[in-house]
Structure 1
Amino acid sequence: MFFLFVGLPILAMIITPLWGWYYGFTASQWVIAVAFLYLNGLSITGGYHRLWAHNAYQAHPAVRLWFALWGAGALQNSVFVWASDHRRHHRHVDDNELDPYSAGRGLWFSHVGWMLREYRTNTEDFSNIKDLLNDPILQWQHRHYIAITIAMNVGVVALIGWALGDIWGTLILVGLLRLVVNHNVTFFINSLAHFWGRRPYTDANSARDNDLLAFLTYGEGYHNYHHLFQTDYRNGIRWWQWDPTKWMIFALSKVKLASQLKRVDEFKVQRAIMDTAFERARQQINPDDNCPLRQLLEREYQTFLDSITQWRDLQTKRYEKHRDALDGAWLEHRARLLKKWEDTHITDQLKALESSLQQQRRRLQLILEQSRALPVGAL
């Protein structure tokens, strides 16, 4: 492991520039290296991570096989090992004893140190991936993982190099350098994404949202959102947020190669933002002072609680409205009936509540800005 995660990067930093200086790399080699980088990266983010570790959607067997091959090519272990470690990370995030790559043990440890020694937290235990163990594609990948990684990283790359007329140069650029970059891009999520960025959704763990990391990691950088809503197939939930993994999954669904895409209700997202904002506001405005801002904050919080109650009532009403009809329907028609009988009035009310929370967010932001503008001791 030391050679793989420390020796190879050093080797790449020495050999790649030397080869480039003396022999050079062609444009074709650079294009293929970037293509391999994305094929590996998206197979990790879309396959290993969102499909298998979190069951955020379902995929056609052809897509699963594709992800299993190119994911193995990323040399980050089999899906069984990867998903098991990752589920433990989410369950025990920041727990130095139970989180395999806890950020609490430092940047180096969470980036790569946890793989360099045999720690108690990184022993294999597949009891948390029983839903994956019977998948024949994953069984095949786990059994033949070493052979697949050699084939993808040496065999396929050397074959391309032969076609380009430069086997060694292609092995160095497409094989060695691409692999090192791919490793560290993924490891950024375990390390930097728990140290650098903002936390709009929750302060309960160290995960951060970071736009630069999202760009480098195929959309995985919206990590604060992901740790709170891990089953959402999206990490970047806004249309403008860079998340090529979500776009890939959505595109696959349009050609019937992916299905059952899970999305978190917008009201729940807004509620998480508001919960966090209210908690920070309470810490900022002295609770012992009965100042107008404090009173305004408490009134806004009561409005917030009322909105949550209304949302729960509407969800209950919608469920009860369709329960009797659904109980008597064939299983395969349930989803279609639910969509067909969706009550427009209830839906409109839910959307109005979402809009109300967004407006309240802006009011809360104004309260915080006013509190910062007051002199020390005035709150």
Structure 2
Amino acid sequence: MKKPAIIWLNVAIFTITFLVAAIAVPYRAYTVGFDMTEILFALLCFIYCGMSITAGYHRLWSHRTYQAHWSLRLIFAIGGAFALQNSILHWSSDHRIHHKHVDDNDIDPYSAKRGFWYSHIGWMCREYQAHRYHDYKNARDLQKDNIVMWQHKYYVALALITNFGIPIAFGLWHGDLINSLLLAGFLRLVLSHHTTFFINSLAHIWGKQTYTDKNTARDNGILALLTFGEGYHNYHHIFENDYRNGIRWWQFDPTKWLIKSCQWLGLTSKLRTAPEDKIEKMRLAMTLKLSKKKLINHPEAEKMLRRLQQEYDNLIARVNDYYQIKRDLLQAKRQQVKSEVENSELLKQYHEMKEKLIAQQRCWQTMTANLV
């Protein structure tokens, strides 16, 4: 089968920027050096580009996990052009197809099952998606957003202005144009590109399948550090409408923190989250599935499997009871005076149910941890 035509512009951009970042930047650092102001400015530009993709392109526009004030949308739209990731409309349309048809080599734009190179960068180097360049019927909602359409119309101009204008302006102000172009221009762009590309490639290869194994997406805390929280990808693929990727307090997800902080400032609203009980049930179901695989060759497999299933059923029953009474308690707090609820029988039942759930979880953790 004949391969699609090479997109020479993309190949040239990826090749030239990478060579400059890999060769010219270290050479300049050795012969001239970079001062802390230049390094910090390049880092700020990298963060701005990355967060514009994660909080803007991804969680706001692709998945509509929250709503944002026009000023914040404008900031993200400009940052997305600075990141040189194509327009919001095109990026989001591709990403929605990816989620709907994940791992389908014939439909998923960057299917991980076609290999690391293809999912990382190869899919952008040839005309694999030519038929989609003007087909945005899966993003009709975004076509009603004036900022999205403004950025789509003037994307090329915005990309040129930001990628050349910002480093040049800083370089002229700071007094070293070459250093600024190398750090805030080339190096920042290469880092922005490849850390984002890691979510399509490495995040479908390296990590744990915490919630589902029905697709190749993985949870990986190291990738989360490089991608502003996007590394918890297995969670994201099963709960794509959640504005969070790292749902635990200790998980690194600055995009989540930004969105939540902006809510306090009145810049974001209607933040969507997945139901807690559904998240827990998906996690437990995956643990059960993995535990059963461990017991395949166990000499007492049948007996152990029965015990495992019974323990799982007991835990699910506790989860259902706990979250039901938690919902009842929240409803009571909305309808009654807070002091009345704090002294109610319902609150006592809630605490009792919570203790029972914790005890059941410990039994389950001990049992699954000791499987060999």
Deviation at 1:361, TM superposition (A): 4.0
How do 1:128-167 and structure 2 match up within 5 A? 128-167=138-177
Deviation at 1:312, TM superposition (A): 8.9
Decide whether the 8 Å contact of 2:66 with 2:270 is kept in 1. Answer: yes
Letter in 2 for 1:295: R
- Larger displacement relative to structure 2 (267-276 or 353-362): 353-362
- Equivalent position SS for 2:142: coil
How do 1:49-60 and structure 2 match up within 5 A? 49-60=58-69
Which one of 28, 35, 42 corresponds to residue 26 of structure 1? 35
Decide whether the 8 Å contact of 1:157 with 1:174 is kept in 2. Answer: yes
Partner of residue 326, structure 1: none
Partner of residue 178, structure 2: 168
Q: Deviations over 1:298-335 (max 9, x none)?
A: 2123324534665797799899x99xxxxxxxxxxxxx
Q: Deviations over 1:5-58 (max 9, x none)?
A: 233212321221222233322221111000000011111101111111111111
Which one of 213, 225, 232 corresponds to residue 235 of structure 2? 225
How do 1:115-134 and structure 2 match up within 5 A? 115-120=124-129, 123-124=132-133, 125-134=135-144
Partner of residue 3, structure 2: none
Letter in 1 for 2:127: E
- Equivalent position SS for 2:242: coil
Which one of 292, 295, 302 corresponds to residue 306 of structure 2? 295
Tell me whether 1:364 sits opposite 2:353 in the alignment: no
Deviation at 1:126, TM superposition (A): 0.9
- Equivalent position SS for 2:144: coil
Partner of residue 216, structure 1: 226
User: For residues 224 and 25 of structure 1, do their structure 2 counterparts lie closer, same or farther at Cα, with a shift above 3 Å needed?
Assistant: same
Letter in 2 for 1:39: Y
**Is there any run of 5+ residues in structure 1 with no aligned partner, and where?**
323-337, 373-379
State the TM-score, normalizing by the size of structure 1: 0.85
Query: Quick one: distance in 2 between partners of 1:246 and 1:358?
Result: 27
Decide whether the 8 Å contact of 1:270 with 1:354 is kept in 2. Answer: no
User: For residues 162 and 281 of structure 1, do their structure 2 counterparts lie closer, same or farther at Cα, with a shift above 3 Å needed?
Assistant: same
- Equivalent position SS for 2:313: helix
Query: Quick one: distance in 1 between partners of 2:123 and 2:71?
Result: 33
- Equivalent position SS for 1:100: coil
Partner of residue 6, structure 2: none
Query: Quick one: distance in 2 between partners of 1:117 and 1:8?
Result: 18
Query: Quick one: distance in 2 between partners of 1:8 and 1:118?
Result: 21
How do 1:262-341 and structure 2 match up within 5 A? 262-286=272-296, 291-307=302-318, 310=321, 339-340=334-335
- Equivalent position SS for 2:48: helix
- Equivalent position SS for 2:317: helix
Q: How many equivalent pairs are there?
A: 356
- Equivalent position SS for 2:178: helix
Partner of residue 335, structure 1: none
Decide whether the 8 Å contact of 2:52 with 2:79 is kept in 1. Answer: yes
Which one of 73, 76, 82 corresponds to residue 67 of structure 1? 76
Letter in 1 for 2:57: Y
Letter in 1 for 2:279: V
Deviation at 1:265, TM superposition (A): 2.2
Percent of pairs with identical residues: 41
Query: Quick one: distance in 2 between partners of 1:22 and 1:316?
Result: 64
Partner of residue 334, structure 1: none
Decide whether the 8 Å contact of 2:96 with 2:138 is kept in 1. Answer: yes
Letter in 2 for 1:158: I
Query: Quick one: distance in 2 between partners of 1:263 and 1:348?
Result: 27
Letter in 2 for 1:186: T
Decide whether the 8 Å contact of 1:57 with 1:261 is kept in 2. Answer: yes
- Equivalent position SS for 1:368: helix
Which one of 80, 83, 98 corresponds to residue 92 of structure 2? 83
Deviation at 1:296, TM superposition (A): 1.6
User: For residues 120 and 145 of structure 1, do their structure 2 counterparts lie closer, same or farther at Cα, with a shift above 3 Å needed?
Assistant: closer
User: For residues 84 and 347 of structure 1, do their structure 2 counterparts lie closer, same or farther at Cα, with a shift above 3 Å needed?
Assistant: farther
Partner of residue 44, structure 1: 53
- Equivalent position SS for 2:141: coil
Query: Quick one: distance in 2 between partners of 1:207 and 1:148?
Result: 33
Partner of residue 17, structure 2: 8
- Larger displacement relative to structure 2 (198-207 or 2-11): 2-11
- Larger displacement relative to structure 2 (297-306 or 89-98): 297-306
Query: Quick one: distance in 2 between partners of 1:231 and 1:176?
Result: 34
Aligned Cα root-mean-square deviation (Å)? 2.8
